[in-house]
Structure 1
Amino acid sequence: MIFVLTLAYTASFIDRQVLNLLVGPIKAEFGLDDTRLSLLQGLAFTSAYVVMSPVFGRIADVGSRKGVLMFGIALWSIGTSACGLAHSYWQLFLARFGVGGAEACLTPAAWSIIADAFPPRLIPRAFSVYMMGPYLGGGLALIFGGLLLQGAEGWDLSAIPLLGAMKPWQLVFFCAGLPGVLIALLLVFVKEPARRASTASAEVQTMSSAEIWATFRRWRGFYGNFYLGMPLFIIPLYAFPAWMPTVLIRKFGVSAAQVGVQYGIAVLITGSLSVLVSPWVARAVERMGRRDNLLLVALGASVAMVPLSLALMAATDYWTAFAIATAASVLYSLPQALSSSALQLVTPNRMRGIASSIYVFVVSVAGLALAPTFVALITDHVFGDEGRVGDSLAITCAVAAAASTVFIARALPTYRRMLDEAA
């Protein structure tokens, strides 16, 4: 089950992030500036994602979570391939819109399944495996996207219907969507676990909207600050992969294929290992007497991200910038599985889907919609120089991490009380 869900999460990030390596060809194809290009990275995807997240979240709470996943995965995979058929900016925008809406199914359904399939002590470990998906997907999107982009320039596909008329960047999109259809079929062999209560005293029954709202209000010290702090920390997670390839290409004159392979491998290895070892880090913190260890690790990572982001402004050579981006991948990856586990562990079973979908909503607004566009706006309208995109990236991530630190720190006291009640 974890294997198939991780494959699905990996495919989702391949499909959403492969565009990051195609910035140059798409800008040239449609005559775009960084800001309009960033809307394809962010707004086109996120506007549908945030609208559909509560819908899929509620369906995951009351219906078949496996059915939701099979439908959504197949749909977003078809949408990604459709990006390769686009012949105008708005056609590509609409295809990205479709991908975003379909991908909204994944988090609420998958998180709920994982939380029901494992005992509480193993949930962080299960999430750490599942949360490898973004880094596997982001890395593979860059690696194979770069290799495919380079290889397609020398291919003669003129005799093949449909593919023969595609440009290299279109072919990358078309191929990226194909694996998802197979993953949707693999879910046929996954058994959906029975729902269970999140605490010993809770009943596994449908919660009314009034009960859900009352729970959010009662624990608003946690939910409110968590829903602000973690999305702010997500901004570096999306901003670095979105713009770091462009920083390396523009500032140091390397090829897209080289950046794709080198940065892709770095993201894949460091991100995956970081999220995989995060439960051990959290357990080490717990042995120090901190039951709030899951959120405490997130707080430490957000603090460290501030100076690391600013260091990017001082990078004067390719490998220094590359090393900073690699270290950032370790930091922003570390708390992702832990924060997801924290949310699931203290949230009643029958509102996990809606709680997860709200998290997806705020994360999507901050990370998917705002992160790429903030960087582009600073580049286009503050510096007025596309060569300074690295400075824009550094400022965006440092400010977001600093603000995240404040809100995560404010969430900790209420989170500790929730843990005490659930014990």
Structure 2
Amino acid sequence: RQVAELLHLCMDAGGPGGSTGAVAADLPVRAEELDRLGMLLTPCASSRLALSRLAPFFAAAGPGDTTGVSVGEVALWLVERIVAPGELPGQGGAASGPTSSMQPDNTPDGASASGGAGGGGTAGAQGAAADGRGGGLGLSARCARVDGLQRGTAVRSEGDIAPPGDFGVAECVEGVVYALAPIRRAMVSNCRDSVVVLGAVGSLARLERCERTQLLVCCRRLVVSNCHDCTLYLATNTPPVFVGDNRNVVVAPFNTYYPSLRAHLEAVGVDPSVNRWDTVALLEEEGELVRAEVGHAGPGAAQAAVHAMPPNKFVPFIVPVVENGPGGAAANADASTQTHTNPFVLPPEYAAALEAKVRSVAQLRGAVKDAALSDARRRELQGVIQAHFKDWLLHSGNMRQVFDLARQENGEGR
């Protein structure tokens, strides 16, 4: 939304896009008007970018060409290709300020941002976005969505999110959403007490105005805004950006997998060897983008904007569904091509804590198995364990998810 408004401010007052009032997605932007944004994206005039020279839709424009491209299309292209200094291919180091750089569409990074489509932002601009449903992210009006889920479970797979697929989740309360597919852009907004599991997101994932929500995502870029008491299990190739009023957001390394995850990562260009979940970028009130390593929660940390989950609290998440894709179910695919473990390497302290939990469970199972119990006492022990497990299912809300998934397996709705 803000990108579209910035474009509107750069338009000539007397031109077709310079009228006052709300920003419309179909107002035309000319090449010279787009170039005026260069002053905001580069640190000094000597290195100022001619943005129109990077944009695919102005590639054939000559001097004096007055042809325009819609605000929605240009804003979508800009959002996908703005990165901080140090994140361009071949560069290193961290950003030192609020400036940004642009990725041209002829770079490998720029190409993969649109799911491998050579047309850059144009491929996803049809029906795109400056409407309320897409928020500031520019999701297509025809993107796959889960809206208003109340105390239920929704599963979406490759057959539901046609490539290059956008996906949105909004207004969910005590819901569980699985989107097991390669996704171009994703938006999760206004959710409460919910769990959202996203497949590989090749461009930008955004979480905004959510409370007590868990997000599991592997992506190239993530923006979090105005979220409270949320837990994020992340695999992101660039540092996640936190803007607005975020409170007590807990971040942790990615903790799940499903059979087609590696294939989906490759399809959208997410690198499983890079995970910068613990280096966050905070946009402060003065407009400065400050990067910091997140620390573990300690005394007083509950009021912090963002902190890392203590390793002893880290647990894996099991995806209880098998995604179906075009041409057959993932369960029928060659086992050698499936993902059987988390493709993102855990930090040593989290891996050690998880291994300690696995050992504890193995020791408990061994103790039960080796116990010299009569048949009656063994049945009594099994009954107690089952009763406690059912009680946990009920009070955690997972019992409802089990019933929802069973109904969907029987074709009784999604």
TM-score by length of 1: 0.21
More helix per residue:
1
Whose radius of gyration is greater, 1 or 2? 2
More strand per residue:
2
Relative contact order, CA 8 A, sep 6+: which one is greater?
A: 1
